[in-house]
Amino acid sequence: MNLDLTSEQRLLVTSVAALLDRFRSPGGGAHGYVDYSPGLQAELRKSGFLEVASQADCGLLEAALLIEEIASRPVSVEAAATALLTPLIGRCSPPTALAWALNRPVRYLSHAEVLCLIQDDDVLVGTPSPEDVTAIDGVVAYPLAVLRTVPRDAVRFTGAVAAAIRRRARIGIAAEAAGLMRGALQTTTQYVKERRQFGQPLAHFQAIQHRLAEDAQLVHACRLLAFRAAYEDDERHAALACLYAQEAMRKLIYDCHQFSGAIGLTLEYPLHLWTYRLKFLQGEAGGRGRQAELLAQQLWS
Amino acid sequence: MDFHWTAEQEATRRKVRTFLDKHLPSDWDEIAALGPGSEAVTGFSRRFCPRLDEEGLLVPHWPAEHGGADASAWEHFIIGELMWESGEPRGPQYYNVNWIGPTIMRFGTPEQKQYHLARMRRGDVIWCQGFSEPSGGSDLAALRTRAERKGDSYHVNGSKIWTSYARQAEFCLLLARTGVERRAISVFLLPMDRAGITVRPISSVVGDGDLHEVFLDDVEVRDSERLGAEGKGWEVVRYALNFERVGIPRYALGLRTLHRAVAALRRSGQFSEVARNAAAVAYAACEAAKLMVYEVVDGRSKDGPSTGTTSMARYAIVMAERQVADFVLDWTPELFASNEDLMVATHHKRAIAAGIAVGAAEIQLNLIARDVLGLGIACES
């Protein structure tokens, strides 16, 4: 048991952070939040970070470390599906969209080069064309589109590979949610230190301190569980990490908005860009009810 | 990052499990249900701990000069986790090996070390901890018990409350005020048979012998029985509490209890989808607490600084205990309200104290707010 990052893992995380920092939006306020852009996506692909899971001396844990770090930054760019699924589907063409059903909004689908559609026990992998999708405008920081039809070139993956795709999708949700929660909590913590009411910073009120402290514990646990799930790459740990994250985010989202007050509801303030992505992840992969069922099957069948 | 046990750690786990299988009697669950401060468990611990020592499993983490084996923080932790999972057959003696012994090692005189550490290693001495008072629990520095110097000794007057194991204890790690300033506190290694000490048990829902009042009426304590310098007790307390704060891996018994409750539901055909959902959520909370505790132990094994992870782990443990206890009450109320499964009953008795013992859970939240989030508040620790 050794729960420290190696020096190589630390370097990996700081390197991807440095790359993302170069893309901070100069007009994006203190956070410099960067909405999804094909340019940044192409840059991330070119950097090779998203292929880390296939590189020598690296694996899914390194991919999860990157996913968590990227999600915590003030930037919207697809990483989880590409980094975790590339070794299984043999395609590294971000953004990769992961759909759990037809006729539902899918993250990154409007720009997707690759689509993985989970259909019961199988997974269909193809290249979505414009007629397959309908883009949606909204406040969710993910570029969204509804998947209407299965791409014509879709290839069917079955058995163990399909199961691995579903499993890694859950690991991706857990790692991405952990990073998003970290970003939202950091933003909120900063805000309560600066915002003064009744002659003192909000940060001095114990009612606020305790709830944010509970959130800090949840975020920390989410990270550890997500990293362990990537390390183990098995059904039990994947369902467990995804369940804990989908449980934890409900409280954290509410607290972050509550303590940010009305400014947290505006589009000029970046909080929603973390919390609304989290809200989208709350129901992914069947939501916490499905994760709990999968975990129970692993433990008690 | 490596989430697997090393071969050495696996070997320790096997060794401890084998030892427990061999030395725990068939009616152990009934004994454990009486509580760690009961006559039965304390008596059992006096026979059990010397056997642990014979196998090198009582104080392997102590330095060799004090009879240990210089084993790693992990080995120490693994023993503690498996002991708690089995109902803590060391009874009150986990105090000794976990933090009272190490605190004496750090601050004791050569004579104190020689006498007390040897007794603890033999596995038959019971200690209690005279910290909480009617005026000071979480706010420990508010204690009022005074030790007034008279020549080569002190005269102690005051009272302690919630003192676990006081009726069985031979010694008390006693905090008393020796000056007027808030932190002018000293620590004493007080023999409990000293004249002027009265112990009164307090009936409680957590088990026999767990809670007491201790009255100190002009009790004489010698200068040679003071641990550390006069008035510097706060440093000693902080050192001891650092061990204690994540001392009990409560989730271990929680997980075992959860599996027992699920097994009962499955036997009766009542493990419905809703029950499975609730069980999985409780399980996830236990696993989160476990992983956070492992992170703390890992840091300790590398002599790393405490960075707030201890407080987060402690809070996660409290939440996990609550989830398991709630699951039992929601889905297997018969196990809570009867003696059908004594292990489950034992868990419930201990879980209710999880957020209270060793400082309220809210103190941990204060520390997380200060040390992890930098929210800047006034709290002493």
- Give the nearest partner residue to A231 out of B1, B262, B287, using CB atoms: B1
Query: Is A240 close to B4, i.e. CB distance below 8 A?
Result: no
Q: Quick one: A90 exposed, middle or buried, by C-beta within 10 A (0-12, 13-18, 19+)?
A: exposed
- Give the nearest partner residue to B372 out of A216, A244, A292, using CB atoms: A216
B window 92-131, beta carbon within 8 A of A: none
Query: Is B368 close to A295, i.e. CB distance below 8 A?
Result: no
B window 6-25, beta carbon within 8 A of A: 6, 9
B377 CB neighbours in chain A (<8 A) are 204, 206, 209
Sequence-ordered list of residues with C-beta below 8 angstroms from that of A53, at least 6 positions apart, any chain = A59, A60, A62, A63, A83, A84, A86, A87
Domain-embedded: residue B378 = no
B374 CB neighbours in chain A (<8 A) are 189, 193
Domain-embedded: residue B297 = yes
B283 CB neighbours in chain A (<8 A) are 240, 295, 299
Q: pLDDT per residue over B235-280, tens digit each? A: 998 888 777 656 688 899 999 999 999 999 999 999 999 999 999 9
Please state the rounded mean pLDDT for residues A23-47. Answer: 79
pLDDT at B380 over 50: no
Q: Does B307 touch chain A (CB under 8 A)?
A: no
Total-model pTM: 0.94
Query: Is B374 close to A193, i.e. CB distance below 8 A?
Result: yes
Domain-embedded: residue A209 = yes
B288 CB neighbours in chain A (<8 A) are 221, 224-225, 244
pLDDT at B339 over 90: no
CATH of the domain at B317: 1.20.140.10
Tell me which residue range forms the domain holding B223: 129-232
Domain-embedded: residue A275 = yes
Q: How far is CA A140 from CA A108, A169, A187, B57, in A?
A: 11, 20, 17, 56
- Count up the domains in chain B and report the number: 3
Domain-embedded: residue A30 = no
Domain-embedded: residue B15 = yes
**Could you tell me if B285 and B336 lie in one domain?**
yes
Separation CA A160–CA B217 (nearest Å): 73
Helix axes A60-72, A7-21, angle to 10 degrees: 40
Q: Contact at 8 Å (CB) between B78 and B23?
A: no
Query: Is B277 close to A225, i.e. CB distance below 8 A?
Result: no
Domain-embedded: residue B239 = no
Angle at A103 between CA A98 and CA A107, to 5 degrees: 30
Domain-embedded: residue A238 = yes
CATH of the domain at A295: 1.20.140.10
**Could you tell me if B116 and B224 lie in one domain?**
no
Shortest Cα–Cα distance, A30 to chain B (Å)? 19
Q: Does A243 touch chain B (CB under 8 A)?
A: yes
Query: Is A217 close to B368, i.e. CB distance below 8 A?
Result: yes
Instruction: Give the mean pLDDT of chain A.
Output: 94
B277 CB neighbours in chain A (<8 A) are 289, 292-293, 296
Domain termination residue (choose one: B177, B206, B232): B232
- Give the nearest partner residue to B280 out of A220, A232, A296, using CB atoms: A296
pLDDT at A197 over 90: yes
> Which pLDDT belongs to residue A257?
98
pLDDT at A28 over 60: no
Tell me which residue range forms the domain holding A225: 161-300
Sequence-ordered list of residues with C-beta below 8 angstroms from that of B356, at least 6 positions apart, any chain = none
> Which pLDDT belongs to residue B207?
76
Please state the rounded mean pLDDT for residues B190-196. Answer: 98
pLDDT cut 90: percent of chain B above it: 75
The single residue listed with the structure tokens 């990483």 is A79
pLDDT at B376 over 90: no
- Count up the domains in chain A and report the number: 1
Domain-embedded: residue A273 = yes
A window 208-227, beta carbon within 8 A of B: 208-210, 212-214, 216-217, 220-221, 224-225, 227
Q: Contact at 8 Å (CB) between B311 and B359?
A: no
Q: Which of B248, B243, B245 is nearest to B367 (CA)?
A: B245
Query: Is B284 close to A244, i.e. CB distance below 8 A?
Result: yes
Q: Does A136 touch chain B (CB under 8 A)?
A: no
> Which pLDDT belongs to residue B379?
45
Query: Is A192 close to B277, i.e. CB distance below 8 A?
Result: no
Q: Does B72 touch chain A (CB under 8 A)?
A: no
Domain-embedded: residue B294 = yes
Shortest Cα–Cα distance, B1 to chain A (Å)? 5
**Could you tell me if B281 and B217 lie in one domain?**
no
A210 CB neighbours in chain B (<8 A) are 362, 365-366, 369
The single residue listed with the structure tokens 């697997």 is B4
Q: pLDDT per residue over B76-111, tens digit each? A: 999 999 999 999 999 999 999 999 999 999 999 999
pLDDT cut 70: percent of chain B above it: 97
pLDDT at B372 over 80: yes
- Give the nearest partner residue to A9 out of B1, B302, B364, using CB atoms: B1
Q: Which of A72, A92, A71 is nearest to A82 (CA)?
A: A92
Domain-embedded: residue B30 = yes
pLDDT at B381 over 50: no
Residues in chain B: 381
Q: pLDDT per residue over A106-121, tens digit each? A: 999 999 999 999 999 9
Stretch among A234-243, A262-271, B7-16 having the lowest mean pLDDT:
A262-271
Shortest Cα–Cα distance, A3 to chain B (Å)? 5
**Could you tell me if B184 and B93 lie in one domain?**
no
- Please, which residues bridge with residue A107 across strands? A144
* Chains A & B: contacts with CB separation below 8 Å: 140
Give residue B335's Cα distance to chain centre. Answer: 25
Q: Contact at 8 Å (CB) between B117 and B104?
A: yes
- Give the nearest partner residue to B298 out of A3, A289, A291, using CB atoms: A3
Separation CA B53–CA B146 (nearest Å): 37
DSSP letter at B232? B
Shortest Cα–Cα distance, A287 to chain B (Å)? 12
Domain termination residue (choose one: B76, B107, B125): B125
> Which pLDDT belongs to residue B243?
72
Stretch among B60-69, B234-243, B364-373 having the lowest mean pLDDT:
B234-243
**Could you tell me if B136 and B103 lie in one domain?**
no
Stretch among A284-288, B204-208, B292-296 having the lowest mean pLDDT:
B204-208
Q: Does B365 touch chain A (CB under 8 A)?
A: yes
Sequence-ordered list of residues with C-beta below 8 angstroms from that of A131, at least 6 positions apart, any chain = A148, A149
> Which pLDDT belongs to residue B61?
93
CB atoms within 10 A of CB A208: 20
Q: pLDDT per residue over A155-186, tens digit each? A: 999 999 999 999 999 999 999 999 999 999 99
CATH of the domain at B17: 1.10.540.10
Q: Closest residue of A to B314, CA-based? A: A217
Query: Is A210 close to B362, i.e. CB distance below 8 A?
Result: yes
Mutation test of the interface with chain B: which of A66, A202, A220, choosing the one with the most B Cβ atoms within 10 A? A220
Domain-embedded: residue A152 = no
Mutation test of the interface with chain A: which of B2, B3, B5, B10, choosing the one with the most A Cβ atoms within 10 A? B3
Domain-embedded: residue A49 = no
Domain-embedded: residue A137 = no
- Give the nearest partner residue to A213 out of B262, B309, B369, using CB atoms: B369
CATH of the domain at B144: 2.40.110.10
Q: Does B74 touch chain A (CB under 8 A)?
A: yes
Domain-embedded: residue B237 = no
Query: Is A3 close to B9, i.e. CB distance below 8 A?
Result: no
DSSP letter at B162? S
> Which pLDDT belongs to residue A27?
61
Q: Does B315 touch chain A (CB under 8 A)?
A: yes
What is the pLDDT confidence band of residue B141, given thresholds at 50, 70 and 90? confident
pLDDT at A256 over 50: yes
- Give the nearest partner residue to A240 out of B3, B273, B284, using CB atoms: B284
The reply to whether ipTM tops 0.90 is yes
**Could you tell me if B164 and B108 lie in one domain?**
no
**Could you tell me if B357 and B260 lie in one domain?**
yes
Domain-embedded: residue B381 = no
Shortest Cα–Cα distance, A39 to chain B (Å)? 33
